[in-house]
Amino acid sequence: MNKKVTIGVVQAAPEYLNVEKSMQKVEALLREAAAKGAQLVTFGETWFTGYPAWIDYCDEYARWDFPATKTVFARTHAHSLDVNGPEVKQIGEWAKELGVVVVMGINEKVGSGIGNGTIYNSLLTWNEKGELANHHRKLMPTHTERLLYGHGDGAGLQAVDTSFGRIGGLICWEHWMPLTRQTMHNSGEHIHVAVWPKVHDMLQVATRSYAFEGRCFAVGVGQIMRVKDIPSELKLPPEFEGKPEYMILNGGSCIFGPSGETILAPQWGVEGIFTAEVDLNKCYEERLALDVTGHYQRHDVFELTVNKKRPK
Residues 125-177 have pLDDT tens digits of 999 999 999 999 999 999 989 999 999 999 999 999 999 999 999 999 999 99
Provide the pLDDT confidence category of residue 57 given band limits of 50, 70 and 90: confident
- In this prediction the pTM is 0.96
Q: Is the pLDDT score of 224 beyond 50?
A: yes
Provide the pLDDT confidence category of residue 2 given band limits of 50, 70 and 90: low
pLDDT over 90 percentage in the chain: 88
Cβ contacts of residue 31 below 8 Å, gap of 6+? 94, 98
Closest CA to 10 of 28, 228, 21, 99: 28
User: Per-residue b/e over 133-165, b at no fewer than 16 CB within 10 Å?
Assistant: bbbbbbbbbeeebeebbbebbbbbbbbbebebb
pLDDT at 60: 76
Residues 249-297 have pLDDT tens digits of 999 999 999 999 999 999 999 999 999 999 999 999 999 999 999 999 9
pLDDT at 56: 85
pLDDT at 1: 47
Domains of the chain, with CATH numbers? 4-286 (3.60.110.10)
Asked about 138 being catalytic, the answer comes back as yes
Task: Between 63 and 37, name the one with better pLDDT.
Answer: 37
| Catalytic option among 15, 108, 128, 138 | 138
Residues 231-244 have pLDDT tens digits of 999 888 889 999 99
Residues 92-131 have pLDDT tens digits of 999 999 999 999 999 999 987 777 899 999 999 999 999 9
pLDDT over 70 percentage in the chain: 99
| Catalytic option among 172, 216, 254, 283 | 172
Residues 5-21 have pLDDT tens digits of 999 999 999 999 999 99
| Catalytic option among 15, 45, 174, 213 | 45
